[in-house]
Structure 1
Amino acid sequence: MWWKNATVYQIYPPSFKDSNGDGIGDIPGIHSQLDYIQSLGVDAIWLCPIYDSPQHDMGYDVSNYEGVYPPYGTIEDVEKLIEACHTRGLRIILDLVVNHTSIEHAWFQESRLSISSAKRDWYIWRPPRYDQDGKRHLPNNWRSCFGGSVWAWDEATGEYYLHLFTPQQPDLNWENEETRNAIYASAMEFWLRKGIDGFRVDVANAYSKDLSFPDAPVTDPQQEWQYASHLFCNGPRSHEYLREMGRILKKYNAMTVGELPLTPDIEQVLSYVSAKEGQLDMVFQFDMVHLGTGPDLKYQTVPRNWTLPELKERVRATQRLMDGTTDGWSTAFLENHDQARCVSRWGCESTPELWAQSAKMLAILVASLSGTLFIYQGQEIGMVNAPASWGMDEYKDVESKDYYEFVRSTSHDDPVALAAAKTALQHLARDHARMPMQWDGTPHAGFTTPNATPWMRAHDNYSVLNVKRQTLDGQSVLSFWKRVIAIRKEYPDVFAQGVFCHTNADDKLFIIEKEGDGRKLVVVLNFTPSEQEMDLGAKLGDQSKLLLSNAGESVHLLQPYEGRVYLV
């Protein structure tokens, strides 16, 4: 199982590298940077959706699983990329988006032709409810993940279709065996036969719903549509469907990492990743990255609305899955295409020194955790959120725009409410991870040609924060990440496979102790911008080795945002 000790590099295709000057990243652009990716020491790359799509949700609305979005390239380009990765010893995994399709997918186009269409049951259609006055109402009060109702009206056939995300993303009906077999053939085996090494499985626990579609409890009387994720995640047939998928994947020796939102109970998580169950190889748990978000609506919060003890508890919760007593496996990550930049959330941007220190400290934190390590493009150079000075017109993501419009309409353009929404988005929006990769100091950060118009604006700091500059600096965040990945690979027994056994109760220092194969890893992290005293004597004993440090060497004093890793 190569993936247990692996480091996976996630790529967001439209923002990684543009090879032809149209302002959109593409497959040949990824191909052109494989030497750079290999130099990091990673074992695999994961590509966010590359399939043909009208791009209502940046490719997570697929119109053809067996085609490539034309601005990204062609099937042949992907085949060349697969071959080039394998030649370099890199694995390649794709995003599997099969809870829903695009409204432009041929399956949905046929499904909506009529109530008697052969593919009508391939999606989830429901008739309206009517009150005693004959007024039409939606099937239930569920709120979609992007706000508004989960139901969209289809005038031609007089019914509603279900969409957990945007109205342009109708949910497939996994209850229909014919539908499932078509998904496996078109979305999975088509690419497995071309040699890919696995999938990241989008919203893996949402395929099975409660088909009675009960109303959700009213938790916010001010809103028409109510939080309902507990009614459409972890449904009654979820495990059955994933076992079915698992049998297909096993034929190709392909790995899977499932997105598992809204599943905080560790026993429930284990039911998905227990090796004997044959479902998912590992999962993304969101305890850590959801820290500081709003309890109901993600953006109903303020920046840095978290404490270090809360972070520790969430780390401990995810690490419990790999406590040495289970056959489950998980992941370690701080960033992906759906999260803001970790330095902006948990580090410090006030000075160049503290920015670099905190970026390195966070690298130590995530790399020290058990499970398969995932890093996101730009994380290895410490990329940060968009500046607060940017206006809302720079935010391109449907989630950001929908939330801002929701606040505008519900507050009746109240400037205080809109300012709070903008502040929350500047801290947490998905847009921050989707800005162009910063390659060098040329226009548009070297992401595209100087005369092109990039689909999204490059960060203002690209002239000082970029790959080229950091490659030439042995003390850069990039150079540090390379050391971190190499050391993690050298000691798999205490890094990827170590057992998390203890942390401290301090609100300034985060001390992690892990055990594996008769050795112990002691990780100490200063989460403050000031020096902190420490006493590790009892933890380190007489025989310890300093594996990593991003700052000083004082035995009893930690520099601001310093992190150290000792092997005992």
Structure 2
Amino acid sequence: MSKQWWKESVVYQVYPRSFNDSNGDGIGDIKGITEKLDYLQELGIDVVWLSPVYQSPNDDNGYDISDYRDIMSEFGTMEEWEEMLDGMHVRGIKLLMDLVVNHSSDEHTWFLESRKSKDNEYRDYYIWRPGKDGKAPNNWASFFSGSAWQNDEETGEYYLHLFSKKQPDLNWENPKVRSEIHDVVRFWIDKGVDGFRLDAIDVISKTEGLPDAKVVNDDQYQWGGEYFFNGPRMMEFLKELDDEVFSKHDLMTVAETSSADIDRGIALTNEQDGVVNMLFHFEHMDLTSGPGGKWDQKDWELADLKRVMTKWQNDLEGKGWNSLYMENHDQPRSVSVFGNDKEYRVKSAKMLATWLHMMQGTPYIYQGQELGMTNVRFGSIEDYRDVEIHNMYKEQVLEKEVDPVTVMEKIYKKGRDNARTPMQWDASENAGFTTGDPWIKVNPNYKEINAEEALKDPASIFYHYKKLIELRKKHDVIVYGSYKLILEDHSEIYAYTRTLNDETLLVISNFSDKTPLFELPEDIGFSSKELLISNYEVGEEDIKGFKLKPYESRVYRLT
């Protein structure tokens, strides 16, 4: 396995709208990020993944781009972006930009031209089709509820939008579109960007003919994923992007692939002929989703988490590379889902961090995760801002007449705005995020959970993450060691080893509020042990058998 800087890095995701507001307009901005670079340097991260800051009308909070070469005016100027990048590089921090190219905004010049007439030179930049019998060209449902097609009065045809109707899908079949995207990537590389996260990149290739999805329920629109996930030319398009642009530079590239299985993960990331460095798969995130998808919620099981994580650890080893994450701008807060955000918030947040960061792959920290920020329960749907949440609420409550209380419970558990409440900097008004009215309400628990308090407390979650990052830089076994699950059938303990040469890490995590007995398997021998990190005080004891405290985690180095 080759050594690479992006394997050894820890990434911190900044969602700019919610990170830090420097001018009091209630919206986080680029100068606000620059103001907090010392904080990120103190944490010790190596890379910042910056969610989109391009020009955008903000239908989907910047993931609807109207100009790929300009900065959103709400966020600042290109000069301020350049100052931010310089500030990162001076501190040894690299910048990973979000590349959103499955779709653009409907306010992008390309689309404004495309919709003017059927023979416009930009018409084929997007996916236009005539309707069928006065209806959409097919029965596909959008990710964000409703039809994936929007009728446009100007020409009387429909355009495809797998996401919001203000996010028309680009037509990757058109070589001119691919060439435009290559030029956009070169533009940002020339400005000094160190890598890219490829948003929703596994839907860029659609099955020829765009056939109807299978009808599986009574809904008007059906899930057509089999016709756009991992489409017939996806790998070809990404190989071209890699050959033409990525491979010519020392970049970090990560593909967001919500549909990826192991085989796809290997194809995407293997070092011989892969097209990106690493991927985000969603299999562990989907453990709380039933057959009906994200809003069809169920409880997760530790046995399933072991199965999924172990499969990706073992099957990808030596063949590809993974991203390690438990939350981001699209996912709820991990301590509220996989931990205990009440009595054991601090202990379980540290446990989850340890359990994840000791695996093979590149770890990602989402802003506020290092503080143990939690999900939020706003009193009204009007307090939410996410287009996905509002579309789902409208469909469920207004069209299907589902009880609003039931729908709000779904939002409390899985809504994307759980991750988008403002970063909690201190106990002052609006958590120190802004002196104005925040674009979305602050989580009311900011007076107890905030960065100022964390930095004063040597036992805080923040310093636990800092130590995990320091350990990663000190011990190659954390990055490159082989993974092996132990105590596979234990219902409360998730334990595994990492081994490199004659060094072994023993990672033990209690995923419960009980006190289970840990018993070391007899085939794990050692002559000396060293406790590298734990979330409780640990005395000298025989590690062959001991009781774990609620949500306790320990990592031993065995030689």
**TM-score normalized by structure 2?**
0.96
| 1:121-149 per-position Cα deviation (integer Å, ceiling 9, x unaligned) | 1100011112xxxxx12111111111111
- Offset at residue 321 of structure 1 (A): 4.1
| 1:546-567 per-position Cα deviation (integer Å, ceiling 9, x unaligned) | 1111014264111000001111
- Offset at residue 207 of structure 1 (A): 1.1
Aligned to 2:485: 502
Aligned to 1:478: 462
The aligned runs of 1:437-448 (5 Å cut-off) are: 437-448=423-434
Residue correspondences, number? 547
> Aligned partner of 1:224: which letter?
Q
Q: Do structure 1's residue 526 and structure 2's residue 510 form an aligned pair?
A: yes
Q: Do structure 1's residue 116 and structure 2's residue 84 form an aligned pair?
A: no
| 1:225-259 per-position Cα deviation (integer Å, ceiling 9, x unaligned) | 11111210111111111111112122232221010
Q: Quick one: which of 293, 296, 299 aligns to 1:300? A: 296
Aligned to 2:501: 517
The aligned runs of 1:280-319 (5 Å cut-off) are: 280-302=276-298, 305-319=299-313
Q: Do structure 1's residue 383 and structure 2's residue 379 form an aligned pair?
A: no
Determine the C-alpha separation between the residues in 2 that align with 1:74 and 1:184: 23
Determine the C-alpha separation between the residues in 2 that align with 1:525 and 1:484: 15
Aligned to 1:148: 146
Determine the C-alpha separation between the residues in 1 that align with 2:525 and 2:302: 23
Aligned to 2:98: 95
| 1:32-70 per-position Cα deviation (integer Å, ceiling 9, x unaligned) | 110100111111101000000000000000000011110
Rate the CA distance shift 1:70–1:516 in 2: closer, same or farther, 3 A: same
Q: Quick one: which of 467, 472, 487 aligns to 1:488? A: 472
The aligned runs of 1:187-206 (5 Å cut-off) are: 188-206=185-203
Q: Quick check: 2:266–2:316 contact (8 Å CA) kept in 1?
A: no
Task: Tell me the secondary structure at the aligned position of residue 291 of structure 1.
Answer: helix
Q: Do structure 1's residue 236 and structure 2's residue 218 form an aligned pair?
A: no
Determine the C-alpha separation between the residues in 2 that align with 1:231 and 1:501: 36
- Offset at residue 472 of structure 1 (A): 0.6
Q: Do structure 1's residue 36 and structure 2's residue 39 form an aligned pair?
A: yes
> Aligned partner of 1:309: which letter?
A
Rate the CA distance shift 1:552–1:150 in 2: closer, same or farther, 3 A: same
Q: Do structure 1's residue 262 and structure 2's residue 259 form an aligned pair?
A: yes
Aligned to 2:175: 177
Aligned to 2:65: 62
Determine the C-alpha separation between the residues in 2 that align with 1:20 and 1:421: 36
Aligned to 1:137: 135
Task: Tell me the secondary structure at the aligned position of residue 153 of structure 1.
Answer: strand
Aligned to 1:431: 417
| 1:387-409 per-position Cα deviation (integer Å, ceiling 9, x unaligned) | 3x632222111111111111113
The aligned runs of 1:301-380 (5 Å cut-off) are: 301-302=297-298, 305-324=299-318, 326=319, 328-351=320-343, 354-380=344-370
Determine the C-alpha separation between the residues in 2 that align with 1:546 and 1:23: 45
> Aligned partner of 2:418: which letter?
H
- Offset at residue 158 of structure 1 (A): 1.4
The aligned runs of 1:545-560 (5 Å cut-off) are: 545-553=530-538, 555=543, 556-560=546-550
Task: Tell me the secondary structure at the aligned position of residue 485 of structure 1.
Answer: helix
Aligned to 1:133: none
Determine the C-alpha separation between the residues in 2 that align with 1:39 and 1:230: 45
- Offset at residue 489 of structure 1 (A): 2.0
| 1:356-386 per-position Cα deviation (integer Å, ceiling 9, x unaligned) | 1001000111101111111100000100000
Structure 1 unaligned residues grouped into runs of 5+: 131-135
Task: Tell me the secondary structure at the aligned position of residue 352 of structure 2.
Answer: helix
Determine the C-alpha separation between the residues in 2 that align with 1:483 and 1:94: 26
| 1:421-455 per-position Cα deviation (integer Å, ceiling 9, x unaligned) | 21111011110110100000110000011xx1010
Determine the C-alpha separation between the residues in 2 that align with 1:545 and 1:537: 18
| 1:288-323 per-position Cα deviation (integer Å, ceiling 9, x unaligned) | 122112322311225xx1111011111112213432
Fraction of identical pairs, as percent:
40
Determine the C-alpha separation between the residues in 1 that align with 2:13 and 2:376: 20
**TM-score normalized by structure 1?**
0.94
Q: Quick check: 1:26–1:72 contact (8 Å CA) kept in 2?
A: yes
The aligned runs of 1:156-175 (5 Å cut-off) are: 156-175=154-173
Determine the C-alpha separation between the residues in 2 that align with 1:371 and 1:419: 40
Q: Quick one: which of 357, 369, 382 aligns to 1:393? A: 382
- Offset at residue 535 of structure 1 (A): 1.5
Task: Tell me the secondary structure at the aligned position of residue 70 of structure 1.
Answer: coil
Determine the C-alpha separation between the residues in 2 that align with 1:320 and 1:150: 37
Give the stretch that moved more between structures: 142-151 or 537-546.
Answer: 537-546
Q: Do structure 1's residue 535 and structure 2's residue 535 form an aligned pair?
A: no
Q: Quick one: which of 547, 556, 559 aligns to 1:566? A: 556
- Offset at residue 537 of structure 1 (A): 6.1
Determine the C-alpha separation between the residues in 2 that align with 1:262 and 1:454: 34
Alignment RMSD (CA, Å): 1.3
Give the stretch that moved more between structures: 272-281 or 121-130.
Answer: 272-281
> Aligned partner of 1:529: which letter?
D
Aligned to 1:250: 247
Task: Tell me the secondary structure at the aligned position of residue 285 of structure 2.
Answer: coil
Task: Tell me the secondary structure at the aligned position of residue 87 of structure 2.
Answer: helix
Q: Do structure 1's residue 465 and structure 2's residue 459 form an aligned pair?
A: no
Q: Quick check: 1:502–1:514 contact (8 Å CA) kept in 2?
A: no
Structure 2 unaligned residues grouped into runs of 5+: none
> Aligned partner of 1:422: which letter?
M
Aligned to 2:212: 215
- Offset at residue 500 of structure 1 (A): 1.6
